[in-house]
Structure 1
Amino acid sequence: MSTPAADPAHLTATIIIGVRNPGAAVSGMTARLLEAVELPGVDAVVIDDGSTDGSSPVLVAALEDHPRITLVRHDESAGIAARRNEALERAGGELIWFVDHDDDWSAAGLTTLMRHADGVDIVFARADFAWGPGPRDRRLVDGVAAWPASRMIPKRTGVRLLIDGSVHGFLWSKLFRRSALGSAPFPALVSQSDIVGVARAVAAARTIRVIPDVVYVYRRQPGSITRSRTPDVRALESAHDAVLDRLGSFATAAERDTFTARFLCLASVNTAVRWGVDRGVMRATVRAASARARSLELRAVAGESLPLAAAMTLLRVAPPLLPLALRTALAGLDAFRAVRSRVS
């Protein structure tokens, strides 16, 4: 645990939650939220994006009359990106924390983030990914693992961390100054709007602090939009282009090519493999990834990451072999996790 940088008592923060069909998770979410808004200077905006599962009355009963919580309900769904943009317009805090209803987060995590937020535009923390109930059924999914203590970094370093994947585009492991996010930072994409918003904030930021604390645990749920059987590669392409549009001028050519290789080429094929798309979708996905890989400077990518350069070489010379290699690697990873879970 890092040493607190400052007393957060003079800071204000808004927790933003977009909700659609939270089901049984609604009670846990409301309990966490009611605890968090007891912190000094903290309020919340919760937007129900047209839930149809009967959870709305529970939200109303728990939150509607709370003086520090703004609850907005819609009859139709507009998507999480639109609802986050809407919530930002209603946010009163100078700091913004985005959370999801079905993950593990707490008032303690927000307190940690706020203690490090004085005088900076973004706090990069860490988050874990949990795939089971045991203490060993989790791994670091975001955050700089190599830095054991809090530190200030310049914008250029923040850009590199996001471009090279040391810091991912998840919103919930970060605390943003409202002014850095700007107006409507999230584009209307089926997925991947998060990283575009993060890129916009990094581009606008003057100062960033990186801390080693885990403030959030992400639990992948069966209904997640990233688990679609027909992954939207166009969303990856749009997000990729938007990130480079914001951050490309701060990055080197090698870093830009590495980002394309990792975030677009490899990720699109990996997503298709992981969620078992049909052969036609797989062929189209690999074909598009191969075309982008041929535009990259492989020597530059190799200078940043040899394994990534090897994957791009495979996409160039024998594209069908990459899904096979990824499928084998993922099967090994799943087997390792299963053994680890049984041991724990």
Structure 2
Amino acid sequence: MTASAADEQRPTATIIVGVRNAGDSAPLLASRLVDAVRRPGVDAVVVDDGSADDTGAVLAASFGDEPGITLIRHEESVGIAVRRNEALRVARGEVIWFVDHDDEWSVAGLDTLMRAIGDADIVFARADFAWGPGPGDRRLIDGVGGWSTPRTISTGSAAELMIGSTIHGYLWSKLFRRSTLGVDPFPALVSQSDVVGVARAVASARSVRVIPDIVYVYRRQPGSITRTRTPDLAALKSAHDGVLVELGGYVQPDERDVFTARFLCLAAVKTAVRWGVAGSAMRHTYRSAQEWARPLSLRAIFRRSKSLGGSILILKVAPSLLPAALRTALKALDTLRALRSRTRVGAEAE
């Protein structure tokens, strides 16, 4: 097959970006999008969620009269989830790729995803997670690490990967057929709306393609909603419930218990510990997690993970001890990561 024939068979694609206060990253975002939409069959929709800086003006000037980019500007901020839903309503592409303005991505990642989709409805790829400036301050996330070649799997198998936390709810390491996303797939949550949207898409998919390729670099920024110091427990619980509504029927009760233990109970306390929550806010967090953990099967959780089972056991019988245990574990993990980072930097310098 010639290159032109392959291009004719590729679906059209829309890149969706929700932005707010993009700051210095706005010009680079504009450059990447202009480069992308000059490829055949690619367009972009950018929604400015009420930026208080000059993001909207910078993007408008940078895009100029580029016909492949639709820029929607708002004075009021209502959240990125709502803006993504809005962008979907005007998207023209048969497939959708969601990206963020402050990460690293290129049209090459989109090309990889589009080559992989074939007859599947969703592509699961991998991403590089960078949390610091050093070459060792990063690790691969999402995707199936043990699969070195692409595979096509069923909806049920994809659901099992998500419930088992092998595949996460990140949007940017995935490509979706527009038809799987439906109307307003992202609930208006402060955080975790992504995973609900992904779960809804998986539930609508006929098949999913899993590839080992890295298509995106996610950079954790100081202002990220995943780094807030007051975790939104209601949003986390709502996202948990939403995922189980969509995908819980594909897995056994034991697997649902493990998902609740990891995604809801442990994540609530771990996030609070990581970002320094203390006092009454911490007590509210671990007591809420304890209530969520009460009906869970410890036997099922221990069978899957002894460390997770140990955390849930503490949460059930002595919840006030879990924050201290997690602080110790996270400190050890950070020390190990720093050591690995220095070792890698030293090896690259030789």
TM-score, L = length of structure 2: 0.94
Distance 1:9 1:334 in 2: 48
**Secondary structure, in 3 states, of the residue corresponding to 2:53?**
coil
| 1:94 equivalent in structure 2 | 94
**Secondary structure, in 3 states, of the residue corresponding to 1:146?**
coil
What pairs up with 1:106-117 in 2 under 5 angstroms? 106-117=106-117
Distance 1:274 1:142 in 2: 21
Query: Which amino acid is 1:157 matched to?
Result: S
Query: Which amino acid is 2:195 matched to?
Result: I
1:269–1:289 contact (8 Å) kept in structure 2: yes
Matched, 1:161 2:161: yes
Distance 1:50 1:181 in 2: 25
Q: CA deviation at 1:59?
A: 0.5
| 2:298 equivalent in structure 1 | 298
Aligned length: 339
What pairs up with 1:1-344 in 2 under 5 angstroms? 7=6, 9-10=8-9, 11-343=11-343, 344=345
1:32–1:107 contact (8 Å) kept in structure 2: yes
CA deviations 1:110-162 (Å, max 9, x no partner) are: 00000011211100000111022333221012111011110001111100100
CA deviations 1:162-199 (Å, max 9, x no partner) are: 00100000100000000001010000100000000000
Distance 1:332 1:15 in 2: 39
Q: CA deviation at 1:306?
A: 2.5
Distance 1:174 1:269 in 2: 28
Q: CA deviation at 1:64?
A: 4.3
Name the structure where helix makes up a greater proportion of residues: 2
Query: Which amino acid is 1:203 matched to?
Result: A
**248-257 or 301-310: bigger deviation:** 301-310
| 2:348 equivalent in structure 1 | none
Distance 1:199 1:339 in 2: 36
Residue identity over aligned pairs, in percent, reads: 63
Distance 2:338 2:295 in 1: 39
**C-alpha RMSD of the superposition:** 1.3
Q: CA deviation at 1:208?
A: 0.2
1:16–1:96 contact (8 Å) kept in structure 2: yes
1:96–1:176 contact (8 Å) kept in structure 2: yes
Q: CA deviation at 1:68?
A: 0.4
Q: CA deviation at 1:58?
A: 0.8
Distance 1:51 1:292 in 2: 37
Q: CA deviation at 1:53?
A: 1.2
Q: CA deviation at 1:55?
A: 2.1
CA deviations 1:252-288 (Å, max 9, x no partner) are: 1011111100100000001000110121111110001
Distance 2:64 2:281 in 1: 44
| 1:3 equivalent in structure 2 | none
Query: Which amino acid is 1:90 matched to?
Result: V
Query: Which amino acid is 1:81 matched to?
Result: A
Distance 1:254 1:36 in 2: 44
**131-140 or 37-46: bigger deviation:** 131-140
2:19–2:101 contact (8 Å) kept in structure 1: yes
Distance 1:93 1:153 in 2: 24
Distance 1:86 1:190 in 2: 16
Unaligned runs of 5+ in 1: 1-5
**310-319 or 150-159: bigger deviation:** 310-319
TM-score, L = length of structure 1: 0.96
Distance 1:154 1:230 in 2: 38
Distance 2:146 2:338 in 1: 27
Distance 2:269 2:145 in 1: 26
Q: CA deviation at 1:9?
A: 4.2
CA deviations 1:275-307 (Å, max 9, x no partner) are: 101211111100011111111011122233232
Distance 1:223 1:26 in 2: 16
- Give the 3 Å change call, closer, same or farther, for CA 48–324 of structure 1 in structure 2: same
Query: Which amino acid is 2:255 matched to?
Result: E
Distance 1:221 1:206 in 2: 35
1:117–1:123 contact (8 Å) kept in structure 2: yes
Distance 2:58 2:341 in 1: 34
1:190–1:232 contact (8 Å) kept in structure 2: yes
Query: Which amino acid is 2:83 matched to?
Result: R
Query: Which amino acid is 1:140 matched to?
Result: L
**Secondary structure, in 3 states, of the residue corresponding to 2:97?**
strand
1:254–1:304 contact (8 Å) kept in structure 2: no
**Secondary structure, in 3 states, of the residue corresponding to 1:116?**
helix
Distance 2:341 2:150 in 1: 31
